[in-house]
Amino acid sequence: WNILPYPAKISVDRYLKHGWSVEASATYSEYKVGKMVQCSTDVSSILAAFDLNAKHSFYSYYAPRHRWIEPYFSMGVGYTYRSSALVAQHVPTVNLGFGLNFWFTKNLGIQLHSNGKLGVYPGFWDTHSNYFQHSAGIMFRWHTKKSRRSDFGRKKSQWAHGNKRYKQKGGH
């Protein structure tokens, strides 16, 4: 495990609808000598990853009355840079993951996430660029207004939009 004493991942998640959301994240980590990396313990390098994932939450299926726990899965694409000579330095990835959000209040929670990253260069399955990434973090949620439309299309008065107040006699 390569754990840093400071936050090493930042992500922004935007809810779309029906349990789907989009997440963009950036990660930084350091490989230290003595830790197992690609079947070797004498590696010292850095890792930087940038990902774009689609997430689907199962809270409405799993426990609709228990909104404090929110299981989800994620899938997406990413880019990984490693300064190590053991693997390719610049690798595009396909990401598959799952996680749990634990909400303590409406706006504050903890996220546990595991992600498998499959390197697509130099080969999809025959590469040493595949790796797992696990993270734990604190989440803050900001609620936005449901509609960001301007007032241009909104009905301002009933008479201007064809609602006739009085019917004409004689069917006309």
Structure tokens at 17: 């609808």
Mean pLDDT, residues 97-101: 95
Give the residue with greater pLDDT, 149 vs 108: 108
Sheet arrangement for strand 69-82? 9-17, 20-31, 45-57, 69-82, 90-103, 108-119, 131-140
Cα separation, 79 vs 74, in Å, equals 16
Nearby residues of 155 by Cβ (< 8 Å), 6 or more positions away: 161
Q: How does the average pLDDT of the chain come out, rounded?
A: 78
Confidence of residue 153 (pLDDT cuts 50, 70, 90): very low
pTM to 2 decimals? 0.73
